[in-house]
Structure 1
Amino acid sequence: MPELRTDRLLLRRWRESDLEPWAAMNADPEVREHLGELLTREQSDATVALMQAEFDEREFGWWALEARETGEFIGRAGLDEVGEDLPFAGVDVGWRLIRSAWGHGYATEAALACLAFGFEALGLPEIVASTTVNNLRSQAVMRRIGMARDPADDFEDPSVPEGPLRQCVLYRTTAEMPTG
């Protein structure tokens, strides 16, 4: 599993010490506001096991996100295959941070590193990102990293029950589009 480094971040393999702060993130209603139900510790641990297995299989996926200055685990960022139940295909870029890391540009910095890896190392022709229509913070990151939205691509997530989390927006970028 390759590590990615930016000026302030290390995107690395998951460690046992990440499980507790990851579980705390998944139990935080503000962090989960646009993601759905809170996760139990067992559910949270299972997501890490799945992320590691998928990374080992595909050679890309979700990295643990660490602040280089402090060594603190601050979330995850990475690339993932779009689910078959969605009305589009490809590879998705995403991020999730602990609340104390919000507003410092870490999501943008991590996402740009993931895009560079996707285009340069994996040779992807396009990378997408999606979120709920009300998740304005993530949409702002998508715009900052050079992604564009066509409202005709907006969709309802079939895996989500009726409600505010079902309506989603889709952003796209290619290697030729300017980033950051």
Structure 2
Amino acid sequence: MARMQAVFDQRGFGWWALEERETREFVGRVGLDEVGEDMPFEGVDIGWRLVRSAWGHGYATEAALACLAFGFEVLGLPAPVASTTVDNLRSQAVMRRIGMTRDPADDFEDPSVPEGPLRQCVLYRTLAEIPVVHTTRRDTA
């Protein structure tokens, strides 16, 4: 926790915990991070990871949009990127909902992942401005 706070203090961005609004239950994390030097692209990466029970409720989309707005409006960051495995269709759907686009020519093999199906990744990019996307979080009832 202290290391994450130190990175946040140094860069002005990092990871935030996600909580369900009414219950305050921890449901995951969202954040901005510098792309690793070993990756075949540069920039700031937006990412999220949610507990399985939080999938399909709109939390990732809502949080990612807030994260993008923070990056653009507060930090003045260049257009972030996002990557995931080829088979992670849920994350790719979030990327599209927040206004990101994919060019298959940018797809890559993640050098930090051992050989296998998780190594093949897709790359999505944002525009150089905040995407205008309207979402409504689905009720959990």
Indicate whether the TM-score tops 0.5: yes
Match of 2:16 among 49, 59, 63: 63
Alignment of 1:58-97 (within 5 A): 58-97=11-50
Percent of residue pairs bearing the same amino acid type: 83
Q: Is the 8 A contact 2:4 2:15 kept in 1?
A: yes
What stretches of structure 2 of length at least 5 have no aligned partner?
134-141
Q: What is aligned with 1:166? A: 119
Q: CA deviation at 1:71?
A: 1.1
Q: Check the 8 A contact 2:101/2:125 in 1, yes or no.
A: yes
Shift of 1:176: 3.0
- Number of residue equivalences: 133
Q: Which amino acid aligns with 1:158?
A: P
Q: How does 1:99-118 map to 2 (within 5 A)?
A: 99-118=52-71
Kindly state the Cα deviation for residue 49 of structure 1 after the two structures are TM-superposed.
Answer: 4.2
Segments of 5+ residues of structure 1 without an aligned counterpart are 1-47
Amino acid at match of 1:153: D
Return the offset for 1:178.
3.1
Distance 1:124 1:51 in 2: 19
- Closer, same or farther: CA 179–169 of 1 in aligned 2, 3 Å: farther
| Consecutive aligned runs of 4 or more in structure 1 exceeding 2 Å deviation | 48-53, 174-180
Greater helix fraction, Structure 1 or Structure 2: 1
- List aligned pairs for 1:1-180, cutoff 5 A: 48-176=1-129, 178-180=131-133
Q: What's the TM-score once normalised by structure 1's chain length?
A: 0.71
- RMSD of the TM alignment (CA)? 1.3
**Displacement after TM superposition at 1:175 (Å):** 3.5
